[in-house]
């Protein structure tokens, strides 16, 4: 390549670079923020301080402190003494407050203190020991209400905040994530609960578990303790808002939760049992026990029967079946499809009312 050709090549390259730079400047001039500013904005945003203050401001005013007072029946003229303390969540402008049953179960008088300094004497609308929930009622104007969304269930990995009054030191906020989720139903057991590593200590019971937008996702209810250890194990539980709201509606309507009962005990199937009973698959519930005075006995259900359908709905496991039974109004006639000695048949049964054990 001679000198002339080299000069032409360099001039062409320079002209091409100038043209491309001009095109770039023209295009970016029509954008609200050019790409450089956008990149700087991203870096700045990423380095900004993380805060949940907005979420706390939305929910915290509706989380109240609950004090239960007991009166010495042997000397009722003496002043009442503090029996226990906990937290509660104001759910409606009518003054309905959700809390834990164990917070108020031995109380002769219940006092609710709001964050704005107001205090109210509360009455018990109803309680449900099975789910450890209770509904209280207070009379007041302009009550703060916690925001919630029944169609936005918590998921494993969600960041959550627990709001309550631990050890009566005043309202505090602790932060963690959802470690595990359960199911929503009316049967009992920790499988119904949300598990979180947010610290829940004495006094937090009945308080709010909220998400980062400030919406209520659960009612704090228990902390797993080992050998008398006072919490701090990273395993705490909350009742999902969908279940808690369902229980609250039933307590407001009836004063108690009415559950259906079938009078059976059962367990999930395993390959060995399925082969012995000549079952086509592992879907269904193996009946292991029958209450002799219950609806199942009157319908001639027997141990070793396998329930595969409940009212024409397939039964994948024990939890689903127990929930469906609990949710069925007593007196309702349902059809159960069972497999007995390898043969399918249908049994009609009338659901009875479950009698809760006295606490």
- Residue for token pair 């303390």: 85
The C-alpha atoms of residue 264 and residue 295 are separated, in whole angstroms, by 9
The C-alpha atoms of residue 274 and residue 279 are separated, in whole angstroms, by 5
Catalytic residue among 68, 87, 102, 246: 102
Chain centre distance of CA 181: 8
Catalytic residue among 87, 127, 187, 205: 205
Q: Which two tokens stand for residue 326?
A: 């609990």
Would you call 246 a catalytic residue per the annotation? no
Would you call 205 a catalytic residue per the annotation? yes
Q: Which of 59, 62, 65, 87 is nearest to 221 (CA)?
A: 87
Phi, psi at 300, each rounded to 5°: 65, 30
The C-alpha atoms of residue 206 and residue 197 are separated, in whole angstroms, by 17
Contact 220, 207 (CB under 8 A): yes
Burial of 177 (0-12, 13-18, 19+ CB in 10 A): middle
Contact 186, 319 (CB under 8 A): no
CA dihedral 299→303→307→310, nearest 10 degrees, is: 30
CA angle 101, 106, 107 (to 5 degrees): 95
Contact 176, 220 (CB under 8 A): no
CA angle 208, 209, 213 (to 5 degrees): 110
Residue 107's contacts (CB-CB under 8 Å, 6 or more residues apart) are 68, 69, 70, 83, 84
Chain centre distance of CA 310: 26
Catalytic residue among 128, 132, 211, 305: 132
Would you call 102 a catalytic residue per the annotation? yes
Q: Which sequence positions are flagged as catalytic?
A: 102, 132, 205
């Amino acid at each position: 390549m001679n000198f002339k050709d080299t000069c032409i090549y360099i001039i062409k390259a320079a002209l091409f670079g100038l043209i491309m730079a001009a095109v770039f400047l023209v295009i970016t001039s029509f954008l609200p923020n050019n790409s450089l500013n956008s990149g700087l904005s991203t870096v700045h945003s990423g380095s900004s301080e993380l805060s949940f203050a907005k979420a706390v401001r939305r929910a915290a005013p509706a989380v109240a402190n609950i004090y239960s007072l007991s009166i010495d029946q042997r000397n009722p003229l003496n002043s009442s003494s503090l029996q226990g303390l906990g937290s509660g969540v104001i759910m409606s402008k009518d003054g309905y407050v959700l809390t834990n049953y164990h917070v108020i179960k031995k109380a002769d008088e219940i006092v609710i203190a709001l964050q704005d300094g107001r205090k109210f004497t509360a009455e018990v609308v109803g309680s449900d020991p099975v789910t450890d929930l209770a509904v209280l009622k207070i009379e007041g104007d302009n009550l703060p209400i916690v925001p919630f969304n029944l169609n936005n269930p918590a998921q494993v990995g969600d960041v959550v905040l627990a709001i309550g009054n631990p050890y009566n030191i005043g309202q505090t906020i602790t932060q963690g994530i959802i470690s595990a989720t359960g199911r929503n139903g009316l049967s009992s057991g920790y499988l119904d609960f949300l598990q979180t590593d947010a610290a829940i200590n004495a006094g937090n019971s009945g308080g709010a578990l909220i998400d980062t937008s400030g919406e209520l996702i659960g009612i704090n209810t228990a902390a797993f303790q080992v050998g008398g250890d006072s919490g701090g194990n990273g395993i705490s539980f909350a009742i999902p808002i969908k279940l808690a709201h369902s229980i609250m509606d039933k307590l407001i309507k009836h004063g108690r939760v009415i559950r259906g009962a079938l009078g059976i005990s059962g367990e999930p199937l395993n390959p060995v049992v399925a082969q012995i009973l000549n079952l086509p698959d592992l879907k269904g519930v193996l009946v292991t026990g029958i209450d002799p005075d219950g609806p199942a006995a009157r319908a001639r259900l027997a141990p070793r029967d396998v329930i595969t359908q409940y009212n024409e709905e397939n039964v994948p496991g024990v939890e689903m079946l127990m929930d469906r039974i609990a949710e069925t109004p007593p007196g309702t006639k349902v059809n159960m499809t069972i497999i007995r000695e390898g043969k399918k048949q249908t049994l009609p049964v009338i659901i009875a009312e479950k009698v809760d054990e006295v606490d």
